[in-house]
Amino acid sequence: MDQIITSISILVVLITFGIGYWERRSSDRRKRTFWFLRAVIEDEGSIHEANLEFASWIRKARIFESDDVDPEEYEVIVTLLDFYDLISDAALRGVVDKEMIVSQLGGRMHSAFKMLKKYIDARRVQLGRPGLYIPFEKFVNNHIKGRDV
């Protein structure tokens, strides 16, 4: 009987430890996600500025048919795509909270990918890098596309 009580006690301790571990891990993931999101909504910074410029392109119905863009547009596009690729990769790897990213940035990411798909394809060919922005593309297609964001 003592062995059963000891075994149950050990099991309860292990379960409690496991729950605590997963809670801390989830909390850390949400904190990292918050700092990623701040990069988009902060008052200053290249990512925030690129996001504002991109929003103006949407209002103007700007279309990108290739990777032939002027230097100012190039800086905005690369800043935004690099950020979205980084956050997509982090979400796919579980480093940041995927659902938070989808709910807070999903619409922007989907719009950016849709608008810049031909640009991305042209860059892949021109640079000979077929894997360029693949995490971003996978994240949009597998976790955002078709969702109400």
Query: What's the domain count of the chain?
Result: 1
For 76, the domain range is 31-144
How far does CA 110 lie from the centroid of its chain? 11
In tens, the pLDDT along 55-95 reads 899 889 888 988 889 999 999 999 999 999 999 999 999 88
Q: Is residue 25 part of a domain?
A: no
Q: Considering the entire predicted model, what is its pTM?
A: 0.76
Q: Which of these ranges, 25-29, 46-50, 64-68, 102-106, has the smallest mean pLDDT?
A: 25-29
- CA–CA separation, 56 vs 73, rounded Å? 12
Q: Is residue 113 part of a domain?
A: yes
Of 129, 63, 130, 139, residue with least CA distance to 108: 139
What is the secondary structure of 108-144 as a DSSP string? HHHHHHHHHHHHHHHHHHHHT-TTTTHHHHHHIIIII
Phi-psi region of 66 (alpha: psi -120 to 50; beta: other; left: phi over 0): beta
In tens, the pLDDT along 10-43 reads 665 556 655 655 555 556 777 777 776 776 666 6
Phi, psi of 132 (to 5 degrees): -60, 125
Q: Is residue 10 part of a domain?
A: no
